[in-house]
């Protein structure tokens, strides 16, 4: 899987709730009824930063993700987009 374009604005799908857990978080999509476990607290920080960031890259920076780690987090965000947890931000 390739990563997503980190230079576009992204958001959590409006029907997704985030429940922080000691291991990371549980995402629940009320529309599809899918559950996704985030086992990386830094990925949770990225996901939570999406709403206030102008781009996914800025959300990664806000979560202290280094340049060398961006491809891995881009792939993780792409997987979340594939399951409709993360969507492109409407203009």
Residue 69, pLDDT score? 96
> pTM here?
0.91
pLDDT tens readout for residues 65-84: 999 999 999 999 999 999 99
Residue 91, pLDDT score? 64
Any idea what DSSP says for residue 77? H
pLDDT tens readout for residues 42-55: 999 999 999 999 99
Q: What is the mean pLDDT of the chain?
A: 94
CATH architecture for residues 10-85: Alpha-Beta Complex (3.90)
Q: Kindly report the CA angle at 31 between 29 and 35, in degrees rounded to 5?
A: 25
At residue 90 the predicted structure's pLDDT band, cuts being 50, 70 and 90, is confident
Q: How far apart are CA 38 and CA 51, in angstroms?
A: 18
Residue that has been written with the tokens 């930063």 in this structure: 49
Q: Kindly report the CA angle at 76 between 89 and 5, in degrees rounded to 5?
A: 45
Q: How far apart are CA 90 and CA 3, in angstroms?
A: 20
Query: Domains of the chain: which residue ranges?
Result: 10-85
């Amino acid at each position: 899987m390739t990563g997503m374009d980190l230079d576009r604005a992204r958001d959590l799908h409006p029907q997704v709730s985030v429940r922080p857990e000691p291991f990371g978080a549980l995402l629940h999509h009320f529309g599809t009824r899918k559950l996704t476990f985030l086992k990386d607290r830094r990925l949770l920080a990225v996901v939570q930063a999406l709403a206030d960031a102008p781009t996914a890259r800025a959300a990664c920076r806000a979560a202290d993700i280094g340049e060398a780690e961006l491809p891995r987090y881009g792939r993780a965000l792409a997987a979340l987009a594939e399951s409709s947890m993360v969507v492109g931000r409407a203009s």
